[in-house]
Chain A
Amino acid sequence: MHHKDGSGEHALRVDLGRLPVFAPPATLWPRIAAAQALRERQARQRRLAFGGIGGAVAAALFGAAVLLLPQRAPAPQAVADDQRESRTLESQWRQLAGSASPSPGGLSRLRLIDATLQSAYDRGARADELAPLWRQRNEALRGLITQFQASGAHEASAITRI
């Protein structure tokens, strides 16, 4: 017997090297193989179940995305772009108009849109509500500019400034 760690000081030792060696029962490996087969079957069923649920979830998400995509709210960046365009158009219109009197109808429409916009901002409206208002305002400004250009007020104003 091999003794380590200083445990060999006993006068007599039981010979553990003569311990009998027993064979496991012949049924043990078939039992293990059957348990493994059961585990694999259960794992397959879990994967199938998980795959089914995953597929259903993915289909639902895809459907929701398809439904929501056309109604997606404009990003704040789109509103900012409309605002920037609006400032450019307004500046352009003021240059054109100068001291001339704009059309009362066009101006009233612009003032109405501005009031609606202000009201929307006051109640904390989202981008999807603000964007169409800014686009309306830009349309109104473009209408005013076109109106001035068409009536020749542009020329008069330019001559006056010169």
Chain B
Amino acid sequence: MADGQASLVNSGQAPSGFGQELDRITLERARRGDMAAYSAIYERFGTACYNLALRVLGEPAAAEDIVQEVFLKLIGTLRGFRGDAPFGAWLKRMTANATIDALRAQQRFGADDAQTLFDAMPATDADAESRTDTWTLLMRLPPRARAVLILHEVEGYTHKELADLFGQSESYSKSILARALKRLGDSALNAGSREAIHDAP
């Protein structure tokens, strides 16, 4: 990663982490401004936030900034969390919004920085090299297409939610998603990355 301190912790088989529960006691302590409780929340959800931002933005430093922004905002607004939705879903929405805002704020965005990214990224898993193939292909997509793809395919956003998030129509996000998937599939075939692709059901 950018500062050489991040590491590959597991494969993509694990859930993103936003689906985890947050116990009521920690939530109440956090609402009272207990920083130890926020630290516990970070321990539980920090990785999920970081990976969502990193997958979309493609730059570790930018993803770190998003996590910082989201957690500072969380500390400032947690009193307003009514608990109507699961905490993880609320945090995921905050992370996605901050990430899309960051995308909007960037005039140029390096979509092909994956090689640099992985050069500095210590892999701790023997199988990591084959797994990074999907990452490399993902990073070759334009940032906006990556955002649609990750939010829809990994984080479970509907096209309606994507349309709201991007301020576009549902058909726009459907079109972006279809093109992204096609381009990803074509790239995988061209690169011969059989590990990264599988037969569609």
Contact = CB atoms under 8 A, between A and B. Distances in A.
Interface of A: 1-8, 10-29, 31-33, 35-36, 39
Nearest to A30: B39
19 contacts: A7-B152, A7-B177, A12-B199, A13-B181, A13-B184, A14-B197, A19-B131, A20-B128, A21-B8, A21-B9, A21-B14, A22-B9, A22-B50, A23-B8, A24-B50, A28-B64, A32-B68, A36-B38, A36-B72
What 10 A-B pairs are tightest by C-beta distance, nearest first? Answer: A25-B5, A24-B50, A19-B12, A18-B12, A23-B9, A14-B184, A12-B185, A25-B6, A5-B159, A32-B71
Contacts, number: 156
Contacts of B46: 24, 28-29
A36 B149 CA distance: 33
B153 A16 contact: yes
Given A25-B64, A32-B72, A5 B12 contact: no
Contact of B12 (A6, A11, A21, A28): A21
In the complex, which of the residues B137, B153, B177 has the most CB atoms of chain A within 10 Å of its own CB atom? B153
Given A14-B137, A15-B198, A22 B39 contact: no
Contacts of B198: 12-13, 15
Contacts of B12: 15-21
How many chain B residues sit at the interface, stated as a range, is 35 or more
Interface string B125-147: 10010011011011000000000
Given A12-B197, A15-B197, A33-B39, A20 B181 contact: no
In the complex, which of the residues A1, A11, A23, A33 has the most CB atoms of chain B within 10 Å of its own CB atom? A23
B95 to A, nearest CB: 12
B7 interface: yes
